[in-house]
Amino acid sequence: MSLDLLDPPATAATIPVLEVDGLTVSYHDGADWHKVVHGVSFAVAPGEVVALVGESGSGKTSTAQAIIGLLPDNGRADRGTIRLNGTDIAGWPDKRLDAIRGKTISLVPQDPGSSLNPVKTIGDQLGEILRIHGWRDRNAIAARSIELLAKVGLSDPELRMRQYPHELSGGMKQRVLIAIAIALEPSLIIADEPTSALDVTVQRRILDLIDDLRREIGTAVLLVTHDLGVAADRADRLIVLQDGRIKEAGPTAGILTAPQDAYTRRLLADAPSLSAPAVQRRAPDAAADIAVTVENLVQDFDLPGTRKSFRAVDGVSFSVPRGTTHALVGESGSGKTTTVRTVVGFQRPTSGRITIAGTELGGLRGEALRQLRRKIQLVYQNPFGSLDPRQSVLGIVEEPLRNYQPVAADVRTKKASGLLERVGLGPELWKRRPRALSGGQRQRVAIARALVLDPEILVLDEAVSALDVTVQAQILALLAELQRELGLTYLFVSHDLAVVRQISDTVSVLKAGRQVEAGTVETVFHHPFDAYTRELIDAIPGRRLSGRAPVQKEPSA
Amino acid sequence: MTTLDSAATDLATETGSASTRSIARSLRRLEPGLVLAWAVIVLVIAWALAPALFTGYSAVDGVAAAKLQAPSAAHWLGTDQLGRDLLARIIYGSINSLSGALAAVAVGLIVGTGLGLVAGSVGGRGEDAIMRVVDVLLSIPGLLLSLSIIIILGFGAVNAAIAVGVTSIANFARLARAEVVRVRRTDYVEAAFGSGGTFRSVLVRHILPNSLTSVLAFAALQFGNAILSISTLGFLGYGAPPPTPEWGLLIAEGRNYIASAWWLTSFPGIVVVVVVLAANRISRAIRKAGQ
């Protein structure tokens, strides 16, 4: 099969597929050049999986983009050599790189949702890479495309060929992108956070797929990820990046058991799958009063254009004692977000009873519902979308106070600034707009806004899922601290069981709108009786790490 | 002047809030085309406010001896059949064209944006009702609609402006509604309701400011179109009556002498084109700044 298109040098077995030496990357911001990658050097041997690990801003994506010549317009590789199969491709113009992109080196992009052209069929997009690299025979292209779709594990490949991206789920789109990346059996695949946008179970299947394909066609993989758990499970060697410099590099097992660098140790400690719970959780006190009760909640949605309806939540019940955390866990589409949106009163339940701090939600409308909202507040998943881009940080946090009985401007400012200090944002940030803040800072603003009305219950909808492990660990620690001090009750929604395990007392596992398991974290994690729960727990990345001595942040029992 | 001024202050606060270093940087990045566009608009506004500063001639009293003279040092753009200086007539005419265009944009902006805002915010039946009316308005060709309205209201500069304004209501309404619907779906609007915001407070604090950029850019674009439309109506004789030096009317009057005095149609025409292009350029800059 098309071996003639591949042209690996005869010595491929002895020289590295990729050799990066002293790579420096800068970005231009109007006036000055800012260096983001400072002389990074590493090599990838044929068939090897190397992981570039670091938090956002560490330069891992810039490094990957520089290798394949896809830096944004305001970026450039200043210095260094990039040898692909022995040929230095640094500084090649785009036209020349086009000949090797896809054929010798290919990319699996980060966001499957926006990486496929919405107006072209899957077959067209898959065939395109073959056409670009000289395939002319239509039937051969179609046959190869179907073969590739089957290879990446998509059911009914003939049908997929005719479908458009919006007809596919996120995991299926990522499979299509992988099919495009392996179409010409390149010697190196760069996978830039290939599963960050996906659920844990889907993530596991996609990573398994990449693993299998690598073994089958002998491609080397450069895996770019912020998740040390993923890197630990999949990579032969790790390269830890911070601020554009390599902090530590070496075989995965060696780094995990004996990290040399302080930064690596911090990453290991922050990775949720690897560390012990951040704080010792109290056992829920049976005598404590109940903050939230949900009984037999059912939520139907009308399907537009039909008389049918879709049951998103089907008979979910749980209760949360005051001062504890209850987690709702499941894959996307399991009904967990729908459940909490009903609990905070954004939609009316089809049936079932919800009681919030002693008030029944069912009959409330208009003003009464507005008054109840003082007691229950929601923190959104995406800190980039939940803050008004035109308001200042202080304005955002003050706003809820302006919605209820009049509060004098100086009292408002005092309260809001106090809370901003409390969540760790200094006065120098208060006048900024959200776009001038990092993801973690934005999520702190969102938490401050949710707390400014002194609510009793905080609903956190995937509130840390969009953040880096290090930032995630900081926000989780902040949440735990706030809960201890203010006696808050949390309803915590997440697809990430590792995080849930750190912060929750009790947990409900949802699948397709049904509650398949519920109980204390201890019981559910150690003695899951439902097969789906076991599957979720097995999908947590970082298994290879769990075997070794746990890294603990503080001595705990 | 409201549209342009608020657009200008918008831009001013953008730069004002930044540090001096970034001001210096944005100065270096200034696009010559945009500077030119602003220069044209400022010049035309100055003509409208203080025409006497730019010309010594009268716009309405001619010197019979100096009729139909070609452009010269004394009369830069020549004179018309009554010996009136063409440049003076263009300068004095700017107030008519500009105020007409502004009134037209104001009608479209206020009524159209209002309708769109209400439609996008209330949703459901109310939205359907408003948007179907807007669709009907949109289905009538602009010039035909303007002419019908003028015939109902009567001839004259003010009525011409209203007639032009009405034709843009539908476009403003559609744009405003689309923006409101987009902003309404964002998490921060829901979060504002979730933190106890009432319909009115959320509308004023979040929906309005975040949907206005596109509307403002469209208003600047519409300003150029309105000048063109008002000139068209003036040319057809539905606008201000002679001897008012309105730009469209100037072109219409010059038409009779096009074989012997080319300058009478060419120069007012060029002025209209340049002002419309400048407005378009500024509109594009506002849209870009909002992104």
Tokens of A548: 């070794």
Per-residue pLDDT at B24: 62
**What are the pLDDT digits (tens) for A449-459?**
988 888 889 99
Tell me what percent of the residues of chain A surpass a pLDDT of 90. Answer: 4
Q: Which residues in B lie closer than 8 A to residue A374 (C-beta atoms)?
A: 196
Q: Which residue has the higher pLDDT, A555 or A132?
A: A132
Looking at chain A, how many residues does it have? 557
Cα dihedral A358, A364, A370, A372 in deg (nearest 10): 0
Residue B235 φ/ψ, nearest 5 degrees: -60, -40
The whole-angstrom separation of Cα A320 and Cα B64 is 95
Query: How large is the average pLDDT for residues A372-381?
Result: 87
The residue of chain B nearest to residue A380, with distances taken between CA atoms, is: B187
A254 inside 8 A of chain B by CB:
no
Q: Does B209 touch chain A (CB under 8 A)?
A: yes
Q: CB neighbours (10 Å) of residue A303?
A: 10
Looking at CA atoms only, how far is residue A381 from chain B in angstroms? 9
Q: Are A149 and A180 in contact (CB under 8 A)?
A: no
Nearest to A30 among B25, B195, B201 (CB): B25
Cβ–Cβ gap A385/B205 under 8 Å = no
| C-beta atoms of A388 and B187 within 8 A | no
Indicate whether A437 pLDDT > 70.
yes
Q: For the CA atoms of A18, A20, A21, A26, what is the dihedral angle to 10 degrees?
A: 160
Percent of chain A predicted with pLDDT > 70: 91
Instruction: Quote the minimal CA–CA distance from B189 to chain A in Å.
Output: 8
Q: Rounded to the nearest 5°, which phi and psi values hold at A270?
A: -80, -25
As for the ipTM of the complex, it is 0.70
SS3 A506: strand
Lowest mean pLDDT, pick from A30-34, A128-132, A379-383: A30-34
DSSP structure class, residue A79? E
**Which chain B positions have a beta carbon within 8 Å of A466's beta carbon?**
none
Q: What confidence tens digit (pLDDT) does each residue in A484-499 have?
A: 888 889 999 988 888 8
Interface test with A, best of B26, B28, B185, B188 (most A CBs within 10 A): B188
Closest approach of A449 to chain B, Cα-based (Å): 8
**Helix, strand or coil for residue A275?**
coil
Chain A residue whose CA is closest to B18: A432
Of A371, A374, A386, the CB nearest to B188: A386
CB-CB contact of B117 with B178 (8 Å): no
Q: Residue A276: is its pLDDT beyond 60? A: no
* Alpha-carbon span B22 to A69, nearest angstrom: 30
Is the pLDDT at A307 greater than 80, yes or no? no
| A389 vs B: CB within 8 A | yes
Q: Token match 């060419």: residue?
A: B266
Q: In the structure encoding, which two tokens stand for residue A163, read together?
A: 């479908």
Interface test with B, best of A342, A365, A399 (most B CBs within 10 A): A399
Selection from B98, B86, B75 nearest residue B254 by Cα: B86
Q: Which of A343-352, A539-548, B15-24 has the lowest average pLDDT?
A: B15-24
Residue pair A346/B194 in contact by the 8 Å Cβ criterion: yes
For chain B, how far is it from start to end, CA to CA, in angstroms?
A: 24
Q: Which amino acid is at B97?
A: S
Do residues A331 and A201 touch, judged by C-beta distance below 8 A? yes
The residue with greater pLDDT, A509 or A151, is: A509
Give the position of tokens 């002025």.
B271
Dihedral (CA of B32, B33, B38, B42) sign: positive
User: Within 13 A of A284's CA, how many CA atoms are on the CB side?
Assistant: 23
Q: Tokens representing A238?
A: 């790790």
Residue A435 neighbours by CB distance under 10 Å: 10
Q: Is B194 on the interface with A (CB under 8 A)?
A: yes
Alpha-carbon distances, residue B246 vs B77, B174, B273 (angstroms): 16, 31, 15
Alpha helix ranges (H) inside A452-547: 469-486, 497-503, 521-526, 531-538, 543-546
Which chain A residues are closer than 8 Å to B188 by Cβ? 385-388
The predicted-structure confidence for A116-152, as pLDDT tens digits, reads as follows 888 888 888 888 888 888 888 888 888 989 988 888 8
Contact by Cβ (8 Å): A75, A26: yes
Interface test with A, best of B187, B208, B213 (most A CBs within 10 A): B187
B263, B71 Cβ separation under 8 angstroms: yes
Whether residue A393 lies within 8 A of chain B, CB to CB, comes out as no
CB A228 within 8 A of CB A544: no
Q: CB-based contacts of A523: which residues, under 8 Å, 6+ apart?
A: none
β-pair partners for A378: A459
CB contact under 8 A, B210 and A380: no
Which positions in chain A touch B211 (Cβ < 8 Å)? none
The backbone torsions φ and ψ at residue A80, rounded to the nearest 5 degrees and listed phi first, read 105, 160
- Tell me whether B183 touches chain A (CB under 8 Å): no
List CB contacts (< 8 A) between B22 and chain A.
30
Shortest CA distance to A388 belongs to which of B177, B120, B179, B189? B189
Convert the pLDDT of each residue in A52-67 to its tens digit.
988 877 888 888 888 8
pLDDT of residue B54: 84
Mean pLDDT of all residues in A272-280:
53
* CA–CA dist B203, B121 (Å, integer): 8
CA A267, A269, A270, A275 dihedral sign is: positive
CB < 8 Å from B in window 445-484 of A: 446, 449-450, 453
Whether the bond between B243 and the residue before it is cis, its omega within 30 degrees of 0, is yes
Q: Which residue has the tokens 């996609």?
A: A206
Q: Determine the residue of chain B that is closest to A370 in CA distance.
A: B196
Is B196 part of the contact surface with chain A (CB cutoff 8 Å)?
yes
Q: Does B190 touch chain A (CB under 8 A)?
A: yes
Are B195 and A344 inside 8 Å of each other by CB? no
Q: Which residues contact A481 (CB under 8 A, 6 or more apart)?
A: none
Residue A377 or residue A269, greater confidence: A377
As to burial, measured by CB atoms within 10 angstroms (0-12 exposed, 13-18 middle, 19+ buried), residue A77 is: buried
Q: Residue B9 has what pLDDT?
A: 45
Q: 3-state SS string over B45-82?
A: HHHHHCHHHCCCCCCCCCCHHHCCCCCCCCCCCCECCC
What is the distance in angstroms between the Cα of A339 and the nearest Cα belonging to chain B? 15
**Closest alpha carbon to A342 in A299, A311, A289:** A299
Instruction: State how far the Cα of A512 lies from the Cα of A390, in Å rounded to an integer.
Output: 38
b/e per residue, A172-186, with b = 16+ CB within 10 A? bbbbbbbbbbbbbbb
Give the ranges where A250-403 is alpha helix by DSSP (H): 252-257, 262-270, 336-343, 366-372, 393-403
pLDDT at position A274: 53
Cα A234 to Cα A207: distance, rounded to the nearest angstrom: 8
Token digits for A46?
């044929």
- Tell me the chain B residues in contact with residue A404 when contact means C-beta distances shorter than 8 Å: 196
> For residue A546, what pLDDT is reported?
55
What mean pLDDT, rounded, does chain A reach? 82
pLDDT along chain B (291 residues), means of 10: 44 47 63 88 90 81 79 82 86 87 92 90 86 91 90 86 90 91 88 86 87 86 86 84 82 84 88 90 82 63
Q: From B24, which residue of chain A is nearest by alpha-carbon distance?
A: A31
**Quick one: closest CA in A to B14, which residue?**
A390
Tokens found for residue A555:
């001595």
Strands (E), A413-531: 457-461, 489-494, 506-511, 514-520
Q: Which of B21, B22, B196 shows the shortest C-beta gap to A404?
A: B196
Q: Is A443 on the interface with B (CB under 8 A)?
A: no
- The side-by-side arrangement of strands in the sheet containing A75-84 is A33-44, A18-28, A75-84, A87-88
DSSP result, B14-56:
HHHHS-HHHHHHHHHH--HHHHHHHHHHHHHHHHHH-GGGT-S
User: Two tokens at A128?
Assistant: 């395109």
- Asked if the Cβ–Cβ distance from B196 to A453 is below 8 Å, we say yes
> Which one of A370, A385, A403 has the shortest CB-CB distance to B186?
A385
